[in-house]
Structure 1
């Protein structure tokens, strides 16, 4: 059984706030799949093509950031006891701005519209800054600062740094300041986005959700205390070394050594997580565990790809190299883990909100579905297999685009369509039970606010 004794819903947002973020992510996944189907091998010619840039931001902003933002808005009051101020207004505004900004940014990449890019960056900038300020207020109000809170604080700062580099790159300001190596600057932008924002947030959240939902032992105390701050400081040092290398002040290999140390830190985290999963009390693997295990296995896989590209200039300069690394990080790690999170967080929130309302009403005549009943294992397992097949074919498409791109797009389309169906099914069952509780409240005259 889950230990919910330390969780609180007293100041949690309406469940519709995180759910709108969660439902938006598979929509962007469907759009990314359509890009694979329509544009085919053109997406894997070079990382710099407008199509590839559009697809990359569709996954990073439309899928990964969307789920992470929704999860944070719900998790802070429930797990940390610190609500985001004005969460309904903040959650609604940020969702609109980030969604529209992402869509407009992708349109700008594909059309070459300078005006569209400026408007998109403005919308994204306002959305991320509002989110940053609201979440940081909540984070600094936390009374008991755990390793999870420290990691989340650093991840949110990394999100702001990612935005800063993105805006500077999009506006051309860095070029006018003499930083002419755009490729290296894009690597810094990606480093903060993938390793900083997504990576640190994943680490912080996993300290809570892996032991809680996967019934594993706790992460080692020293790892929880030191890993996220060490990785954040490492990213800062790596960034300074990269800027120094661009300016000709520092040798490029020094920055690569710093990145190698960072990669070792993430590989250590993946190894510890896999070890904890092997020690779980519940021996039958569930869908969340399988998604997370996929992501954890891809971290060392991506580390080996990066090492190969750094050691061998022939590999590092091959256009397939960065595409393979990008697909491994974004799909193999990022999308795999957020799929796993959705299959546990959405049923858990549905059950937890309904159970709390049921107890307030003292209503035992309305049955609250258990977590397994919100999304059947069979449907979730089918989506896992579709996702894994799509991911492997997308990896193959980076090397042989003419052979595998369209099939990868078809399977990724099916995977996201089934994910959307499963989430909608969970939300429908939540709504039906909530309506039954409302009907009970009206019949008995009980006073209880709706669960959202």
Structure 2
């Protein structure tokens, strides 16, 4: 962790993100949103934003607050902005969800909540973008470039989202209505493909190298991967806006984006394979083994996308495709790395101050991998089963898969809490003289 201290609020971001993930799975079990409702329905909008903002974005922001300083060996620009940003993002998401529920008739039709939510989310993400962007810009090389590209994509995602929110409330005029009618795919690509995927790729380079004792990815290789990804997002956003303006449709733009996306995945697979081949740690830890399952889901996503396009079924099965992207690839990788990050930061916070002055456990002593592994396996098996059930249009079986996912997530959350509580550390080493037990939700100053 050279060049960076422990982020005080990373655990708070993780806790809030996991809570939203549990809410999302509960909604799916309760038949709120797709596939029980149409993809464009207000209920599905609730589910999508709970997952993408509440779960994935908060988890990603929490991880970046800790690891962007590591990537550039510089301190975070402003640690003080992290907690206000979390408050703004939480309040903004709640307001946005209430607005969507109003659109669907589940709450009073207070459509003004949508613009309010958009403004709060814009302010929260704005603090994150400035804080992380100014930090990463001090040394924009290697994985930090992926983070900068991801933050730029986040700006595009938030801009589209704000326009949509104002349009739903009737405050965006004819231009806003036009963008709302055609721009949803661009919003999704910028968010899932740019903000979440490019950022996850960049962070995974550093974490995989760090935890497997492998050399960093060659800058020339990662530069090609980043260039393909950035080109894909640029074509989607800029080309898509021109296509909407010219009323020419998005098919040509989306075809180019799909080809570039496949190239990005292939290049990323080459980079990750290189890390695995050059690693010094031959026996893989649980977080790395589970990350491999997320890479399997990413490869399956690419294959599924190609097959759906070739058979002309992509539009009909886009829900299954997005489900595998969100829960197989992105959520699978985030859960695997979150499990390790919590243990790593807990060890640094608790035992770092007494290193060399008292016997201390290893990072691996804070976790029980054999016990935890079954929850990850249950989760991934449920995601793959759920994807197949969506493709087969078996809504009842998809609900069963969602319940299985929830069981896996509850088990993983329990393991994370045990790690934070030092529950699996043997008593002679648990709290040596001078060490303080960590708080569950934040790091002690």
Give the Å deviation of 1:403: 2.8
Considering fraction of residues, name the structure with more helix. 1
Equivalent runs, 1:6-405 vs 2, <5 Å: 7-9=2-4, 11-14=5-8, 17-39=9-31, 43-87=35-79, 89-112=80-103, 113-140=110-137, 142=138, 144-172=139-167, 176-177=174-175, 180=178, 182=180, 184-248=182-246, 250=248, 252-273=250-271, 275-276=273-274, 278-279=276-277, 280-313=279-312, 315-318=313-316, 321-359=317-355, 363-364=357-358, 367-398=359-390, 399-405=392-398
CA distance in 1, matches of 2:250, 2:123: 34
CA distance in 1, matches of 2:184, 2:203: 27
> Which one has more relative contact order, counting CA pairs under 8 Å at least 6 apart?
1
CA distance in 2, matches of 1:297, 1:439: 40
What is the count of residue pairs matched by the alignment?
A: 425
Q: Which segment drifts farther, 131-140 or 236-245?
A: 236-245
2:357 partner SS: coil
Q: Give a deviation string over 1:129-167, Cα, whole Å, max 9, x none.
A: 111112222222x2x432111111111111111101100
Contact 2:164 2:179 in 1 (8 A): no
Closer, same or farther: CA 110–291 of 1 in aligned 2, 3 Å: farther
CA distance in 2, matches of 1:164, 1:178: 11
2:31 partner SS: helix
CA distance in 2, matches of 1:363, 1:179: 65
Contact 1:84 1:138 in 2 (8 A): yes
Q: Which segment drifts farther, 324-333 or 250-259?
A: 250-259
- RMSD across aligned positions (CA): 2.7
CA distance in 1, matches of 2:401, 2:249: 40
CA distance in 1, matches of 2:253, 2:242: 9
Closer, same or farther: CA 120–401 of 1 in aligned 2, 3 Å: farther
- Provide TM-score, normalisation by structure 1: 0.85
- Provide TM-score, normalisation by structure 2: 0.87
Give the Å deviation of 1:19: 0.7
Q: Which segment drifts farther, 429-438 or 380-389?
A: 429-438
Closer, same or farther: CA 404–259 of 1 in aligned 2, 3 Å: same
